[in-house]
Chain A
Amino acid sequence: MLKLGVARDFSPDPGPRKASQGQHSGEAFRRLLMRKLAASDLVEVDLDGTSGFGSSWLDEVFGGLIRDEGMSAAEVRRRVRVKSIADETYLFIIEEAINLARPRDAAAPVAA
């Protein structure tokens, strides 16, 4: 299992959703995560130690694995383990992002 700490390996100040919007974007972190997933079947993402995440950043990383990288929700849950001891609400937001995400070509789901 590979470990990937957001604060340690990426930035203590996660930024916007897209790389075009600014530094330390969710899109940039997702690319880093994809490189780790290419090297290992299981990657643990550690969210602790940062200044906080906007929902858009978390959605771009974890929902983006399904929307843009072609992974299934089951595969994301099996291969990406998320650690967030300091703030467990992030786990809920990530689960929500995974549940709502659909591959790019599919129609967007209707939120309950």
Chain B
Amino acid sequence: MKKLSEEEKLERLRVARRREARTRNRVLRRAQTKAQRAAFHRELVSFTQAHKLKMPTDVDRVPILLPKILSLRDNYAATVSAIAELRDAVLLRNTPAMLYFDHVQEIEPAATLLLVAEVFRCRNLRPFGGKNRMVHGTYPAKMDVLLQLRDMGFYDLIGINPRNELPDDRESEHRREFLPFHSFNRAMPSVPRELSDWINDNAIPMSDVERRRMNEALKEAMFNAIDHAYAEAGKFPRMKNRWWLGGFIHAERQEMMLIVLDQGIGIPRSLQAKFSEKVVSLVTTWTLQPSDGEMIKYATELFRTSTGQSGRGRGFRDMKRFVDESTDGELRVLSNRGVYHYMKSGERVDDNERSIGGTLLEWRIRKAVEVKEVEDA
């Protein structure tokens, strides 16, 4: 047997120690993962039992219970929290998620668009094991909600069976007609015209000026989503230039809603607060940075721009002109934590605890309904 030199002995010893350390770490990792999995499984069982839900087929899924009222107007905190939970699980932790619609009783178009956009992003940016693996979900127990989701194009947009075999027994006369959700990754200048033609022909007759104002508002909203929203990287991976469109018309009430959404950095982050605005913030709230709501309000002021170039900063005027042209209308801008409401009668600013992770513009326009004279019998 060959006699080893001192150097060779030392080298062998080093190799043996490294191997031993690797084995020890592997065993520790395994034990840790096993313990974590067991804890996760216990939580999952207690979660599904507490909410009377079925266990997901894949037990590694993060269960997310959607609130009874999925709305950014009436149940902001719970709605945004559920969507953020999905975003965190899939995009940050690369963990599949299970969306439970079981208890959802009411849905609002803006909140539904925010949710479907997040599902769309999660499925497209984390296509491990096939696009459809990362986010699974249940169908709502309440039939009305399921049919509304179907009408909104929720299932079609993310490639899920829309259950067309289910009969729709709802009264058709008095209900909203949804504009199916659409997703684009470039500017589509003809879309506003096609949409205003459809609204004009099917439900709400509009004058040429009203149609132009609507087209201008939608165009500026989509161009802003492409030009400013994705200018910088955010906390979450993004689908550059991606924006979403949704809404509804209600012929009987002569009412329409149009929504444009992006998942960019948000207006408050894309705009620098001026010195005077910081002073106002310091005096009123004791913080140097104005709130997100205040920043949205500042962004809507004429000539306020993040580019610093002459001639910029007039897009929000176009968006407000659509409201000004209507008999009764409102523009609601949600961006990160802030909310800004614009009506002919004035404006209002609010702030929330959690961010929606992008910008959502919503126009709600009502036309005066003509009162028909009814002759006495």
The one of A13, A21, A96 in contact with B226, judged by C-beta atoms closer than 8 angstroms, is: A21
Q: Is the CB of A51 within 8 A of B192?
A: yes
Nearest-Cβ distance from residue B216 to partner chain A, whole angstroms: 5
Tell me the bound Cα distance from A102 to B302 in angstroms: 18
B315, A54: Cβ atoms closer than 8 Å: yes
Is residue A24 contacting chain B, with contact meaning CB distance below 8 A?
Answer: yes
With A13-B193, A16-B189, A63-B311 in contact, do A54 and B318 touch (Cβ < 8 Å)? Answer: yes
A59–B189 touching, CB < 8 Å: no
Q: Which residues of B contact A14 (CB under 8 A)?
A: 189, 219
Which residues, 140 to 196 on B, are CB-close (under 8 Å) to A?
186-190, 192-193, 196
Proximity string of chain A (73-107) to chain B, C-beta cutoff 8 Å, 1 when within and 0 when not: 00000000000001100000100110011100000
Q: How far is the CB of A55 from chain B (nearest CB, A)?
A: 4
Determine whether A70 belongs to the interface, using a CB cutoff of 8 Å to chain B.
no
- CB pair B310–A22 under 8 Å, yes or no, is no
Encode B191-212 as 1/0 by CB contact (under 8 A) with A: 0110010000000000011011
A9–B251 alpha-carbon span in the complex (Å): 36
**Are A51 and B193 interface neighbours, CB within 8 A?**
yes
Q: Across the interface, name the chain B residue whose C-beta is closest to A89.
A: B321
Task: Write out the residue numbers on chain B whose beta carbons fall within 8 Å of the beta carbon of A53.
Answer: 216
Q: Which residue of A lies closest to B310 (CB)?
A: A108
A72 on interface, CB distance cutoff 8 Å: no
CB distance from B309 to the nearest CB of A (A): 6
Chain B residues contacting A87 (CB-CB under 8 Å) are 209, 212
Q: Roughly how many angstroms separate A37 CA and B342 CA in the complex, as a whole number? A: 42
Digit string of B92-109 for contact with A (CB within 8 Å is 1, else 0)? 000000000000000000
Q: How far is the CA of A24 from the CA of B192 in the complex (A)?
A: 14
Judging by beta carbons under 8 Å apart, are B189 and A102 in contact? no
Q: Is the CB of B187 within 8 A of A22?
A: yes
Q: Are B215 and A51 in contact (CB under 8 A)?
A: yes
Find chain B residues with CB under 8 A from A13 CB.
189-190, 192-193
Q: Which residues of B contact A55 (CB under 8 A)?
A: 216, 220, 314-315, 317-318
Question: Out of B189, B216, B310, B311, which one reaches A24, CB within 8 Å?
Answer: B189
Per-position 1/0 for A1-15, Cβ under 8 A of B = 000000000011111
Whole-angstrom distance from the CB of B231 to the nearest CB of chain A? 12
A-B contact pairs, 20 of them (CB 8 A): A13-B189, A15-B189, A16-B219, A16-B226, A18-B227, A21-B186, A21-B223, A51-B193, A51-B215, A52-B212, A52-B213, A52-B216, A54-B223, A56-B220, A56-B315, A57-B219, A59-B311, A67-B311, A87-B209, A108-B309
What 5 pairs across the A-B complex have the smallest Cβ distances? A22-B187, A15-B189, A51-B193, A52-B215, A111-B303
- Please list the residues of chain B having a beta carbon within 8 angstroms of any beta carbon in chain A: 186-190, 192-193, 196, 208-209, 211-216, 219-220, 223, 226-227, 302-303, 308-315, 317-318
Q: A14-B219, A52-B212 given; name 11 further pairs at CB < 8 Å.
A: A16-B226, A21-B227, A22-B189, A51-B189, A51-B215, A52-B192, A56-B223, A87-B209, A100-B303, A100-B311, A108-B310
